[in-house]
């Protein structure tokens, strides 16, 4: 558990990985509560293939708009620069290092400890 982090969740948009994204996001929520991860669909911009998306309820439960999903292809390089800029932008907005955990993190720590 960390005070602040930007998680990047990457899934293959050409197979059934989209069906597991909700579970991945549930786990990330335990690590960084209250912050939506950056969601990246790979193999999405190849040969006019758009890419499969996770279900709307899974996305909405984690505060992610389907329009915010980054789509890229390592094969063609499309979308890679946009991902790089998104990560840099998110990092620039983070506060400096601190020993104090946020209230959301403390609450999750208590919930996990009670299990």
Number of compact structural domains in the chain? 1
More confident residue, 5 or 58: 58
- Own/partner contacts of 24-30, CB < 8 Å, gap of 24 or more, are 25/58, 25/61, 25/62, 25/64, 29/62, 30/1, 30/108, 30/112
More confident residue, 7 or 32: 7
Tens of pLDDT, residue by residue over 51-78, are 788 988 888 888 888 888 999 988 889 8
With respect to residue 82, please indicate whether it lies within any of the assigned structural domains: yes
With respect to residue 3, please indicate whether it lies within any of the assigned structural domains: no
Report if pTM > 0.85. Answer: no
With respect to residue 54, please indicate whether it lies within any of the assigned structural domains: yes
With respect to residue 78, please indicate whether it lies within any of the assigned structural domains: yes
Domain housing 31:
8-113
With respect to residue 44, please indicate whether it lies within any of the assigned structural domains: yes
């Amino acid at each position: 558990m960390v005070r602040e982090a930007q998680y990047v969740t990457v899934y293959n948009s050409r197979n059934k990985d989209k069906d597991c994204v909700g579970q991945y996001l549930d786990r990330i929520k335990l690590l960084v509560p209250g912050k939506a991860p950056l969601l990246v669909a790979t193999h999405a911009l190849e040969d006019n293939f758009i890419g499969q998306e996770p279900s709307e309820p899974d996305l909405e439960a984690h505060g992610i708009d389907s329009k915010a999903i980054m789509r890229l292809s390592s094969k063609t390089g499309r979308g890679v620069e946009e991902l790089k800029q998104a990560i840099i932008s998110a990092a620039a907005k983070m506060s400096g290092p601190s020993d104090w955990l946020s209230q959301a993190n403390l609450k999750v720590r208590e919930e996990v400890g009670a299990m």
